[in-house]
Amino acid sequence: MLPATAAALAVLAALLAWPVPALLARARWPRRDPLVALVCWQAIGLAGGLSMIGALLVHGLAPWGHSLPEAAWSVLTGDAAEDPVRGDHWVTLTLAGVLAVELVGVLVLSWVRTARTRRRHRELLEVVVRPAAVPDARLLEHPAPVAFCIPGARPLLVLSSGIVAELDEAQLAAVVAHERAHLREHHHLYLLPFVAWEAALPVLPAAARAHAAVRTLVEMRADDVALRSLDGAAPRRTLAQAIVAAAGGGGGAEVPSGALAVAGGAVRARVVRLLEPPSPLPGWARWLALLAAGLLLLAPTALLLLPVL
């Protein structure tokens, strides 16, 4: 019998499915420290999945033992249940299984599909691009001002001839530094679970909200990392100029504008943040946020593993 544990996990799952992501998405502090905010989002995603599946599992396995490890062991060794097994136990067990398979399955599928698309795009691009003046970057002959990188074992950093023509040397260096930051910190891995889970749980509004927030934070983080490597009088202004030029010149029908453009405000938030930098998060606040993220992960883990409350 594990009613208190199952209830606690269910409450945690409900909190993480709606109010907590809503609060974090609306909070002002993440733009002051995108990296800490990204850690918090990962913790919310992981703890949310864990408590959702955990609540179902704990309830379903209740007849077999007093803690989840004990109950799971009795089931695996084929011991008879200590208490009568009712219909709702089977229903929650089935749901737990379906949910776990779906979340993990979609993640794996998304990974495989993304990797395949990346490889195909890289193979096609490699035929058309030429070496650019910037080291490690490739030039794609196209008038629209576009820059992007394809992450992976052999990353590809592409600049359009349009962006090279539009930006001055310092601005171009800022663009390249931003893209290199994405590659060096493997930002695509931060995004992957949120992309996958938005696809897996379309009914959960928090999934879409989390995905959008993480996307914006990853861009802000890349801006921050890029600024560190830039010299010149006003690197923040240089990067902001590059963003405005690339965003404004890319409109029209020449190239697809991308999902971020639909959000619109995300680009503006980046520019505002560069021009009027918010004060960095004080040390204690950083540690508090990281501690909260740690506790968030610890809570469902402890509830799952410890004997019944």
Partner 1 sequence: MASLGELERAVMDRLWSAGGSVSAGDLRDGLADRGLALTTVHTVLTRLEQKGFVVHDDARPRRFRPRATREEHAAELMHEVLGQAGDRQAVLARFVGGVDAEEARLLRELLAGGPPA
Contact set with partner 1 (CB under 8 A): 110, 113-114, 117-118, 121, 123-130, 140-142, 144, 146-151, 160, 163, 175, 178-179, 182-183, 187-188, 191-192, 195, 218-219, 222, 240-244, 246-252, 254-261, 264, 267-268, 270-272, 275
CA distance 14 to 7: 11
Nearest-CA neighbor of 164 among 192, 134, 127?
134
Widest CA span in the chain: 75
- Residue 195 CB, shortest distance to partner 1, in Å, is 5
- Residue 146 CB, shortest distance to partner 1, in Å, is 7
Residue (77 or 279) nearer to partner 1, CB: 279
- What is the C-alpha end-to-end distance of the chain, expressed in Å? 10
- Residue 24 CB, shortest distance to partner 1, in Å, is 20
Beta carbons within 10 angstroms of residue 295's beta carbon:
12
Residue (86 or 113) nearer to partner 1, CB: 113
Residue (18 or 148) nearer to partner 1, CB: 148
- Residue 61 CB, shortest distance to partner 1, in Å, is 36
Residue (89 or 188) nearer to partner 1, CB: 188
CA distance 210 to 214: 6
- Residue 163 CB, shortest distance to partner 1, in Å, is 8
For residue 105, what are the contacts with CB-CB under 8 A and spacing of at least 6?
none
Residue (22 or 125) nearer to partner 1, CB: 125
Residue (101 or 128) nearer to partner 1, CB: 128
Residue (86 or 120) nearer to partner 1, CB: 120
- Residue 25 CB, shortest distance to partner 1, in Å, is 18
Read off the tokens for 177: 């530094």
- Residue 165 CB, shortest distance to partner 1, in Å, is 14
Residue (12 or 172) nearer to partner 1, CB: 172
Residue (122 or 286) nearer to partner 1, CB: 122
- Residue 213 CB, shortest distance to partner 1, in Å, is 14
**What are the distances in angstroms from CA 295 to CA 52, 287, 292?**
17, 12, 5
- Residue 4 CB, shortest distance to partner 1, in Å, is 39
CA distance 191 to 124: 24
- 80 CB burial (10 A radius; 0-12, 13-18, 19+): exposed
